[in-house]
Amino acid sequence: MDVVGTWTGRTACLLQEALRMTNDGFAEHLGISARTITRWHSSPEMVHRTEVQQILDLAFERAGDAVRRRFIHLARPPESQAAAQALRVAIAVVRREDKVLLVCRQDGSDMTWQFPAGIVKPGGSATKVAVRETLDETGVHCMIREHLGERLHPVTRAYCDYFLCDFVHGEAINGDSSENVAVAWAPIKELTRYIPEDRIYPPILEALEATV
């Protein structure tokens, strides 16, 4: 793929992911506002106006071969992506005042903090999975506030749907000791101490920072 016929919110965000940039970094790279990048994430089907198309064309042309290869992989048609990786995951980002709910998973000797999540079966509802798995894993009842977007996860290669959720009630407990070793309400301002910033979907940070 030497050129992109028409840039949309989705393909622009895929270029951001291929460049491995945060919203602020991508905005500075393109010479536009970070608020505009956030709008692209929430409107994947939008078609950019001519001047923005030209800015994205130039950014793509100037990107190195490695970046272009990543972009091409990420931009595969859904059928090709599904053949490579059919797993879809719903992820709940549950906030309670100035804290966010995390679970700690153990894989062998490694332990990683992450947001509550569950696998979405074919034909299933991602929103229902996000709410149900949060309750099952942590004992916390939550409700969906907004869809933050979706992406092919850069590490797991699963398709992830991200939802910002409001705490309703419940005490945080480890409801799934077979997968998790701990559950915690982490201070939003200290989130990157638990999860490296480059592993966090950029709209998550922006949505959480807007609440503190």
* Residue 192 confidence (pLDDT) above 60: yes
pLDDT for position 80: 44
C-alpha span between 3 and 23 (Å, rounded):
23
**63 shares a domain with 102:** no
Q: Is the pLDDT of residue 211 over 80?
A: no
Q: Are residues 136 and 166 in the same domain?
A: yes
Number of domains in the chain: 2
Which of 56, 75, 94 is the last residue in one of the domains? Answer: 75
More confident residue, 109 or 65: 65
Are both 118 and 69 inside the same structural domain? no
Of residues 130 and 84, the one with the higher pLDDT is: 130
- For 52-111, the DSSP string reads HHHHHHHHHHHS-HHHHHHHHHHTS-HHHHHHH---EEEEEEEEETTEEEEEEEEETTEE
**Is residue 71 located within the same domain as residue 159?**
no
136 and 36, same structural domain?
A: no
At 126, list the tokens.
């991602």
Mean pLDDT in the chain? 86
Position with higher pLDDT, 139 vs 50: 139
Residue 109 sits in a domain of what CATH number? 3.90.79.10
73 vs 1, which has greater pLDDT? Answer: 73
pLDDT digits (tens, 9 = 90+) for 142-165: 999 999 998 887 777 788 999 999
Q: Is residue 24 part of a domain?
A: yes
User: 151 forms bridges with which residues in the sheet?
Assistant: 160
**For range 104-113, the mean pLDDT:** 79
Q: Which domain holds residue 52?
A: 9-75
